[in-house]
Amino acid sequence: MNEVKDLLWRCVQPLLRDFAERIAASDSAVSYSVGHTSSNAFLIRGYASLRKAAVDDEIAVTVDAVFEDGEIALSADACMDDGEVLADGPEATIPSAAMLSSSGTPLAEWLGRFEDFLASIEAEVNKRVAAL
């Protein structure tokens, strides 16, 4: 399963980082953090969190991967730190064996939809970050 975790993070991290960098470039007071964790509940939880200096509020884009019954369920969303969901991102359920296949097609398809999701929320996230 570590192979799957590593693959997911290698694919998702640059997308989250690039998104956070674009948002931060619009306002010098914005800082960001990109990282991931894993636990018994989540195979991986990747995130990009954005906040302004001296403000406790933040906006996060998260990617969750949960392993259950031989499949990996992927989901994403954008939310405020109080739990308000700004947008639900793409979801997919991929057989774990397909994650490491040479074609990588199911994962590649989800990553394409995730990239489209990031583009679709960028203006709203910029607006919300400016209002922090």
Helix axes 2-25, 105-130, angle to 10 degrees: 30
Gap between the Cα atoms of 115 and 94, Å rounded? 18
Give the count of domains, the chain: 1
Domain residues for the domain of 30 are: 2-130
pLDDT computed for residue 103 by the predictor = 65
Residue 102: pLDDT band by 50, 70, 90 thresholds? low
Are the CB atoms for 81 and 57 separated by under 8 Å? yes
Say if pTM beats, i.e. exceeds, 0.85.
Answer: yes
Residue 98: pLDDT band by 50, 70, 90 thresholds? confident
**What is the 3-state secondary structure of 61-102?**
EEEEEEEECCEEEEEEEEEECCCCEEEECCCEEEEHHHHCCC
Q: What percent of the chain has pLDDT over 70?
A: 97
Report pLDDT digits (tens) over 42-72: 999 999 999 987 778 899 999 999 998 889 9
More confident position, 117 or 57? 117
